[in-house]
């Protein structure tokens, strides 16, 4: 797809001209367009644990107030990022000559008041014990009134799998209650059927965003997902911490497309009671919901929920920096490297430490990106394609900085070759493997595999594909608009550590620190593995910035059709 233009002469011609020119050109270029890989090594070696830790110490410091979009925390964070990009020698990434892409958000603090009425008797729902709901509509209040509660199983409509949870039931104006994740359809042996909903992996049908989108398409007034820790992938406290506070959306006049007015989560215990009061058993309905025979079930009660809001318009910012490519015919083609700078801010609701420092999530990924940016600037020769580094805002509020960029790209998406995203780094030491989230999705895996092999490492698929991590960070917004995206995670096979160490550490982090004020820099952090990962990602980006053939989605990837449309100019 790219032109055959070269930034240097061909290997054959080089051989003919001789060693003099070879020296001038810095080594032979392979048939794939990538020069001698040793030329990237000085830049790789410029990435250090100390450098990364210096950035993390600043970004996770209490003075940045947990880096919420808007306010003093954002101002300090953005100033730091801009200063770093400048001092690393990167040019302003916005064509308007600044390091800023303004992102208009609206912050909505939702206060729900809800009752469930059965046989004329009402009882109040306790927030946040029983439920956590809010609205994405920028209006003073929204409500569902006398809205029948209907259980719709997993709330999935997937014609390609001959799956339809709603059957012929009209849920217009109703409040639907759904299960989280994909329907766990068993095969003959009782294992998950790999031919439907991606088997063990979570498909997009399993994501809460999909479920609210489907509720909206069906005209529901309200949408509640029953929280269960295992299929959700995180505890109920995480839902409270993420939803029971000011939430943001991209500020679109008239409100967001494809969202119901009242949406949220029902605690598992509250769901048990709600079903039991209707003479229903939650667990047996849940089993039934994993079959095609399931039909929606009325819960014999109505919901009255009013959500009052406090609104705050927030001008937030993506921070953007670039290095132009050296080849005039390729400099308008982009590799985009991303990490979200934001975290959850402050909250004194829990008592104790009010600051969500987000050291791992995602001061660490931002630091890793800054190290890669600095290394890129130290390359002895510019790559032929350009690279754009974006520190994205409002990831924690639903990938909003990335969503905004995808809807308002600074450079055409059809000229965007790949996205490489970082969200959380490995803080537990070196690994022999690199985990690829969404393994097999695109040919970026092949590039990473070659880089890893050079480092004596191997690729591993996501060990927890059921948790849907591919949909849970910013690269997903690039994937949704068709841009092939690479997102890696800590490997599992730790050097000099017992088997199971990686899983144990990951589980500890999820249980103890994920989206909690205790996500702080820990004395036992060992960034040696994060350095190796960063060097590998630098080299992947550098290779992609040279490759004669663009990375592509695999045949079965759900984003391929969008890419085809984008490249054909239909988007």
Q: What are the residue ranges of helices labelled H in 127-175?
A: none
**Pick 198 or 472: Cβ nearer Zn ion:** 472
- Does residue 246 belong to the site contacting Zn ion (CB under 5 A)? no
Q: Closest CB to Zn ion among 165 and 513?
A: 513
Helix count and strand count (H, E) for the chain: 17, 20
Number of amino acids touching Zn ion (CB under 5 A): 3
Binding segment for Zn ion (CB under 5 A), chosen from 250-258, 272-280, 362-370, 386-394, is 362-370
423 binds Zn ion (CB under 5 A): yes
Residue closer to Zn ion by CB (options 165, 361) is: 361
- Cβ distance 550 to 1 under 8 Å? yes
Query: Closest approach of Cβ 394 to Zn ion, in Å?
Result: 11
Contacts of 63 (CB under 8 A, 6+ apart): 76
**Torsion over CA of 443, 444, 448 and 453, rounded to 10 degrees?**
10
Segment contacting Zn ion (CB under 5 A): 18-26, 137-145, 423-431, 539-547?
Answer: 423-431
HEC profile of 262-274:
EEEEECHHHHHHH
Q: Which is nearer to Zn ion, 290 or 394 (CB)?
A: 394
For residues 330 and 63, give the distance between their C-alpha atoms in angstroms, rounded to a whole number: 42
474 binds Zn ion, rule: CB under 5 A: no
Q: Hunting for tokens 């306790």 — which residue is that?
A: 126
- Least separation in angstroms between residue 56's CB and Zn ion is 14
Q: Is the distance from CB of 405 to CB of 102 less than 8 angstroms?
A: no
* Contact window for Zn ion (CB under 5 A) among 19-27, 418-426, 435-443, 491-499: 418-426
The Cα 414–Cα 103 span in angstroms is 22
Task: Look up residue 26 and give its two tokens.
Answer: 């810095």
Query: Toward Zn ion, which CB reaches closer, 325 or 398?
Result: 398
The minimum distance between CB 356 and Zn ion, in angstroms, equals 12
Distance CA 133, CA 267 (A): 11
**Closer to Zn ion at the Cβ: 423 or 477?**
423
Q: How many CB atoms are located within 10 Å of the residue 135 CB?
A: 27
How many other β-carbons are positioned within 10 Å of the β-carbon of residue 131?
25
* Residue 361 binding Zn ion, by CB under 5 A: yes
At its nearest, how many Å lie between Zn ion and the CB of residue 387?
Answer: 22
241 binds Zn ion (CB under 5 A): no
Shortest spacing between CB 364 and Zn ion, in angstroms: 9
Q: What is the DSSP secondary-structure string of 339-406? A: EE----EE--TTSS--EE--IIIIIIHHHHHHHHHHHHHT-SS--SSEEEEEEES-STTTSHHHHHHH
Choice from 241, 301, 362, 366 touching Zn ion (CB under 5 A): 362
Report the C-alpha gap between 56 and 395 in whole angstroms: 18
Nearer to Zn ion, 25 or 344 (CB): 344
Q: Does 366 bind Zn ion (CB under 5 A)?
A: no
CB of 358 to Zn ion, least distance (A): 8
Q: Which stretch binds Zn ion (CB under 5 A): 164-172, 373-381, 417-425, 486-494?
A: 417-425
Q: Which is nearer to Zn ion, 363 or 544 (by Cβ)? A: 363
Near Zn ion by CB under 5 A, which window of 24-32, 250-258, 314-322, 422-430?
A: 422-430
Binding residues (CB under 5 A) for Zn ion: these are 361-362, 423
């Amino acid at each position: 797809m790219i032109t055959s233009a070269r930034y240097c002469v061909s290997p054959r011609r080089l051989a003919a001209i001789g060693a003099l020119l070879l020296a001038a050109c810095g080594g032979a270029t392979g048939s794939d367009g990538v020069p001698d890989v040793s030329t990237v090594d000085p830049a790789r070696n410029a990435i250090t644990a100390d450098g990364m830790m210096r950035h993390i110490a600043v970004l996770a410091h209490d003075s940045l107030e947990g880096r919420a979009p808007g306010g003093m925390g954002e101002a300090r964070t953005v100033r730091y990022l801009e200063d770093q990009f400048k001092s690393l020698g990167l040019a302003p990434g916005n064509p308007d000559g600044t390091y800023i892409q303004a992102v208009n958000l609206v912050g909505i603090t939702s206060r729900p008041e809800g009752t469930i009425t059965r046989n004329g008797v009402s009882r109040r729902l306790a927030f946040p014990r029983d439920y956590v709901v809010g609205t994405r509509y920028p209006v003073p209040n929204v409500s569902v009134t006398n809205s029948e509660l209907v259980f719709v199983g997993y709330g999935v409509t997937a014609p390609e799998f001959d799956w339809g949870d709603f059957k012929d039931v009209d849920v217009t104006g109703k409040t639907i209650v759904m299960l989280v994740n994909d329907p766990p359809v068993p095969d003959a042996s009782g294992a998950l059927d790999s031919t439907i909903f991606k088997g063990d992996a979570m498909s997009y049908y399993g994501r809460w965003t999909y479920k609210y989108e489907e509720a909206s398409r069906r005209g529901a007034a309200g949408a509640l997902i029953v929280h269960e820790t295992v299929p959700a992938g995180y505890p109920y406290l995480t839902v409270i911490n993420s939803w029971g506070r000011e939430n943001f959306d991209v500020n679109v006049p008239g409100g967001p497309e494809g969202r119901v007015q009242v949406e949220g989560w029902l605690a598992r215990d509250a769901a048990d009671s709600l079903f039991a009061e209707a003479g229903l058993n939650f667990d047996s309905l849940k089993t039934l919901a994993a079959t095609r025979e399931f039909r929606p079930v009325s819960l014999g009660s109505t919901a009255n929920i009013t959500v009052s809001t406090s609104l705050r318009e927030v001008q937030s910012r993506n921070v953007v920096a670039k290095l132009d490519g050296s080849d005039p015919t390729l400099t308008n083609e982009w590799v985009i490297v991303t990490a979200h700078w934001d975290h959850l801010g402050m909250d004194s609701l829990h008592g104790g430490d009010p600051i969500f420092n987000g050291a791992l999530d995602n001061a660490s990924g931002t630091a890793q990106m800054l190290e890669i940016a600095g290394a890129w600037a130290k390359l002895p020769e510019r790559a032929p394609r350009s690279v754009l580094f974006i520190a994205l805002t409002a990831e924690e509020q639903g990938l909003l900085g990335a969503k905004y960029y995808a809807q308002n790209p600074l450079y055409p998406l059809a000229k965007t070759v790949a996205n490489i995203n970082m969200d959380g780094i490995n803080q537990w030491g070196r690994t022999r493997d690199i985990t690829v989230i969404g393994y097999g999705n695109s040919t970026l895996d092949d590039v990473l595999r070659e880089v890893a092999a050079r480092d004596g490492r191997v690729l591993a698929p996501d060990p927890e594909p059921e948790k849907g991590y591919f949909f849970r960070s910013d690269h997903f917004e690039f994937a949704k608009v068709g841009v092939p995206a690479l997102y890696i995670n800590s490997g599992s096979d730790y050097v000099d550590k017992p088997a199971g160490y990686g899983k144990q550490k990951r589980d500890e982090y999820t249980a103890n620190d994920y989206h909690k004020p205790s996500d702080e820099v820990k004395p036992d952090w060992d960034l040696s593995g994060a350095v190796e990962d960063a060097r590998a990602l630098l080299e992947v980006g550098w290779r992609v910035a040279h490759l004669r053939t663009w990375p592509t989605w695999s045949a079965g990837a759900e984003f391929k059709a969008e890419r085809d449309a984008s490249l054909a100019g239909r988007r």
